[in-house]
Amino acid sequence: MKYDKINSNLFKENRARFVAQMKPNSIAIIHSNDMMSRNGDTHFAYRQSSDLFYLTGLDQEEVILVLYPDCPRGNQFKEIVFTKATNEHIAVWEGYKYTKEDASQTAGISTVFWLDEQQPLLNELILLAERIYVNTNENDRAVLDYPSRDVRHALALKKEYVGHHFERAQPIFKNLRMIKSSYEIDLMQKACDITNSAFRRVLATTQPGMTEYEVEANIIYEFTRQGSSGHAYTPIIAGGSNACVLHYIANDQVLKAGDLILMDFGAEYANYAADLSRTIPVNGRFTPRQKAVYNAVLRVKRAAENLLVVGNNLADYHKEVGRIMESELINLGLLNKDAVRHQNPSRPLYKKYFMHGTSHHLGLDVHDLCHRYVDFAPGMVFTCEPGIYIPEENIGIRIEDDLVVTNGKPLNLMADIPIEVEEIELLMQAKV
């Protein structure tokens, strides 16, 4: 793995919290992700299931985790990992794979078997249990075009063990993964620090005549150099009018003097995501109008950050951010105060220029698994990303940082990343 070894206490503590929410005499079976075919006999780069990684730290295909906290057979069977057997042939053709000892040390689980040893042991354990926890993808943003490995095996279990009660693992994962431990915050800080280096490289190299993909190349260079596995999500590198396309990912146009470039990117480190947005002038100088809009977005962002506090919730938070945005859009001459006063509350006028949400949970997934309708609590990590998009003026500006909810003021994991107009201009001009 490119990242440094992770303290196995993270995964031990995650499992302890998970089994504490399981019903009595239950067994949970969690699978790794599939290897995804790219074309011919090649595959896409492997990305582990966030749920399996959360509980084990095992970053390899063909892994099964079995949790049976009430197992009557003995303590050694309360936590089991089944993993793909390695041998000299695999080592020559595919490289390193976990030995039983390595898997045990990584996950902090003493009992490890090869996959071909799972029967009849797994069958015996299932028959001893009354309930089976199976895992499906319940991220409400997910678009599922095919059944995952977890789902395929869950369907097979339901067919074979018709007398058992089946339970959903995802509600437990949602409760747990929303609250990050200090170990996780440290990993996310590392992802943000790598993202900081990439942005500073962009400031030092961007100039008129470059293409958007050249900017992207500078980002991925810094990611790779510092041990990131790459982008946490498909990056947006949007110059000029492209910045007004919210999910622009072509990244293939030439950057022009006088235009802005909106960038939304983040490093993935140890499977944890950073999520940054910054908007900069291609030629290193904001025009007065660009600066005015930029600073309006920045004021909204700073006001929004102060709302990411214990006891608030996403619904009330987004309403208040919309109210703050209305005031800024009026001051920019984009909205009329009287029209805002008489607007339809269900269709606020600010949505013409700021049409997306301000914050989402962040963690092992860039849009992390969560309950949308619970109050903010310490340990939750949110993005904060207001924006203003004015196609008729060729202006699209979004500014985003990642913040941890605490018992006091939110902790900004991106506090060291340049954000002020003056600092951005100074760093861009320094390359000349």
Catalytic residues: 41, 247, 264, 275, 356, 360, 367, 385, 389, 398, 400
How large is the greatest C-alpha to C-alpha distance in the chain, in angstroms? 76
> Considering Cα of 97, then 50, then 71, then 104, what sign does the dihedral take?
positive
Can you tell me which residue has the tokens 């990642």?
402
What CA–CA distance (Å, rounded) separates 361 from 28?
25
Backbone angles phi, psi at 64, to 5 degrees: -130, 135
* Run of H or E including 411: strand 411-412
Interior CA angle at 253 toward 248 and 254, to 5°?
A: 140
Candidates 286, 296, 140; CA nearest to 304 is 296
What CA–CA distance (Å, rounded) separates 214 from 194?
18
Six-digit token pair at 257?
A: 């003097």
CA dihedral 376, 381, 385, 386 (to 10 degrees): 10
- Look up residue 166 and give its amino acid: F
Question: Is residue 59 within 8 Å of 174, Cβ to Cβ?
Answer: no
What is the SS3 assignment for 258?
Answer: coil
What CA–CA distance (Å, rounded) separates 336 from 176?
44
- Look up residue 288 and give its amino acid: P
Q: Is the peptide bond before 120 cis (omega within 30 degrees of 0)?
A: yes
